[in-house]
Structure 1
Amino acid sequence: MSFKSQKSPFSSSSTTSSSSSAAITNHRSSLPDEDPTYYKLVLVGDSGVGKSCLLEKLIDSSSKNTFISTIGFVIRTHVIVHQQNHLKLQVWDTGGQERYRPVLATCYRNASGAIIVFDITNPTSFLNLSQWLDEISEFSEEPLPKILVGNKADLSERRRVSKEEAQNFANKWKMAYIETSALESTNVKQAFIALILQNNKG
């Protein structure tokens, strides 16, 4: 299983970081949806687990930790510099709400991978992971590389899902597992990089 990119993301011609956003109602002509040099990643998980905060921290690590509830979905593009390589990302942040299911096929079209997020303090968000995996299987055109992210690691005293439990679940589904904190910017960029590189080693 490999990422769908017709050109190497390690292009030296890209030298600066960039970001942009678009709401579901915006014109999509300015979005690189069909640009094969981008890795299209989909953020999924229950509403309130911190998907949007993770994305904001990826783009601006100095951003304030404010709660963002996504309506429908938001698309952001960003370039990560990793070991002098430039990884061009297009991230689709889904709202995690049932009423937006009709647009999910658009989210997964030509996707390169999925970041599945749960809240380590919210066991319901962990229990719902199987439903998100079923959704990915239903709407993606082929099996997608995936990574499981346990967010809000800064709230360790309120943890309700153990690392062992989460790791076992990830192993069952053949995913990598990483814990993040959007509040403290812990492992945020690393989660995105890990998803890209896990199947791009050769």
Structure 2
Amino acid sequence: MSFKGTLRPKSHCDNETPRAKLVMIGDSGVGKSCLLERFMDKNSTNNWISTIGVDIRTIYLDIDGKNTKIQVWDTGGQQRYRPVLASCYRGALGVVVVFDLTNRTSFSNVKQWLHEVEEFSALDADKKILVGNKADLQADRKVDQGEAQQFAQEAGLQYIETSVLDQTNIQEAFTRLVEVLTVVVLCCDVSM
């Protein structure tokens, strides 16, 4: 399976273009928006601004020779936005669950986020990826890599650690999930 993470202008998209919707969830301040921004633009300065509600970004990726529209819903992690999130899961083919490796509470809350996904969607575990962000802050780390990997394994999730600051595994995190979704996207009539 080939995957080229190239952005395409909207004019390359038509009604026959395969489509996928991804939702990014996790506590406020874990770096969801920064991960997405860095994925879309490697030269991004990542000036952090808290997401209010939901920010929807669209990218076009070449997957197995087909221009594929990927719509990423970047959600605000604050408790007050939780009622809005139920509608975000509708039609989603994949979920990126992000926690902060330097914030133990954000890791503990992953169970709650996954419960919410199960409540509002019918996604299989292989359509979800757990991302431990801020891997560059080793001295401040509160969540051990082995513990996070074990949790992910028990939940049937893929796990990867990323760093927006030094650009570690940003592309890989999205690539893993998009490759799993490719079979669904390219073989089914998926509309958003």
Q: TM-score, normalised by structure 1?
A: 0.78
CA RMSD of aligned residues (A): 3.0
Unaligned runs of 5+ in 1: 1-8, 21-31
Which deviates more from structure 2 when the two are superposed, residues 131-140 or residues 76-85? 76-85
Structural mapping, 1:1-16, within 5 Å? none
1:92-126 alpha-carbon deviations (Å, 9 max, x no partner): 00101221222212211110010000000111100
Counterpart of 2:144? 162
1:39 maps to 20
Structure 1 residues 10 and 187: alpha-carbon distance in aligned structure 2, compared to 1, 3 A threshold: closer
| CA distance in 2: counterparts of 1:142 and 1:53, whole angstroms | 25
> How many residues in Structure 1 have an aligned counterpart in Structure 2?
180
Counterpart contact for 2:18–2:68, Cα < 8 Å: no
Q: Does 1:55 align with 2:36?
A: yes
Q: Say whether the 8 Å CA contact 2:63–2:182 is kept in structure 1.
A: no
Q: Which amino acid aligns with 1:173?
A: A
Q: 1:199 & 1:40 partners in 2: Cα distance?
A: 10
**1:116 corresponds to which residue?**
97
Tell me: CA distance 1:62–1:142, structure 2 relative to 1, closer, same or farther (3 Å).
closer
Per the TM alignment, residue 79 of structure 1 is displaced from its structure 2 partner at its CA by: 2.3
Give CA deviations for 1:136-186 in whole Å, capped at 9, x if unaligned.
Answer: 011114546100000001111211101100000000100010000111221
Written as runs of structure 1 = structure 2, the 5 A alignment for 1:1-202 is 17-18=7-8, 37-81=18-62, 86-143=67-124, 145-198=127-180, 200=182
Mapped to 2, the partners of 1:18 and 1:107 lie a distance apart of: 24
Q: How far apart, CA to CA, are the structure 1 residues paired with 2:16 and 2:67?
A: 15
Q: What fraction of aligned residue pairs are identical, expressed as a percent? A: 51
Unaligned 5+ runs, structure 2: 185-192
CA contact (8 A) 1:10 1:85 kept: no
The alignment's TM-score, normalised by the length of structure 2, stands at 0.82
Higher helix residue share: 2
CA contact (8 A) 2:101 2:142 kept: yes
